[in-house]
Amino acid sequence: MSAAIRFIARKLFPVIADVEVHGDISKLPKGGYMLASNHLGRLDSLVVYFVIDNDDLIHPLTDKYKKYWYGRLAGKIFNVTWLTRGEADLSAIKEFIGRLKKGAVMIIAPEGTRSKTASLLKAEPGAVYIASTANVGIIPVALTGTEDADVITRLKKFQKLKITITAGDELYFPPDIKPVKGAERDVLLQSSIDEVMCRIAAMLPESYRGYYRDFPRVKELLQK
């Protein structure tokens, strides 16, 4: 199924969108890593297939979408792993870690939901927990132009979408969390996911940086 979706994405996007890819995608490892991006709209998942060749992709999706026909359809098309909303789904997390160790690529939006303002929201630390436990790196990716409202408006007017995909130039390996417990672990997890989000923020236009706009780390990265 992944190969078929990738074929469709690479045929479809040049027709409906001008897509700019920044960063050397050819340097991405073949597997065993996590791809973390900002979450703007429903096209985000399909965009991934435009740049990634790996056939074993992990798509987590909250089970709230099961009540919508398009959510169930997307679940089948992308072979998603359903997550129980509002709680740590240990069964799904165990699956993610096992597949990452075997070379899969996990696609995740650490914000946990689409941003209605297109600017970054505060991220949840679950992605770091999974990546650290699986001992894999995280590649930050910044997207623009996939906002639902903008996509709908442009397509209604038969205008091409303007999409940019910017990949970080190096993997971020989160710290080992095993020896850390309690509140100290919570702080470590949050600071680690904030590092990932700051790297995404630094690749985005200022208007997209949202919650992370004034983080000193973002300013440091922009000066490099």
Query: Can you tell me the distance from the alpha carbon of 94 to that of 84, in angstroms, rounded to the nearest whole number?
Result: 14
Which of 7-21, 25-39, 115-129 is predicted with the least confidence, judged by mean pLDDT?
A: 25-39
pLDDT value for 85: 66
- Average pLDDT of the chain, as a whole number: 91
What's the CATH number where 106 sits?
Answer: 3.40.1130
What is the dihedral sign for C-alpha 148, 149, 153, 159?
Answer: negative
pLDDT value for 216: 97
Q: Which domain holds residue 139?
A: 2-223
Phi, psi of 107 (to 5 degrees): -100, 120
Residue 88 has pLDDT above 80, yes or no: no
pLDDT value for 1: 67
Maximum distance among all alpha carbons in the chain? 55
Element (H, E) at 49: helix 44-51
Q: Whole-structure pTM over 0.75, yes or no?
A: yes
Please tell me the total count of domains within the chain: 1
Share of the chain above pLDDT 70, in %: 98
Beta strands per DSSP E along 45-199: 57-58, 60-62, 81-83, 105-108, 137-144, 161-167
pLDDT value for 60: 85
Residue 16 has pLDDT above 80, yes or no: yes
Each residue of 93-123: pLDDT tens digit?
999 999 999 999 999 999 988 998 999 999 9
3-state secondary structure of 7: helix
Tell me the DSSP string of 125-167.
THHHHHHHHHT-EEEEEEEES--HHHHHHHHHTTPPEEEEEEE
Each residue of 169-209: pLDDT tens digit?
889 999 999 998 999 999 999 999 999 999 999 999 999 99
- Nearest of 116, 175, 99, 216 to residue 108 by alpha carbon: 99
pLDDT value for 83: 78
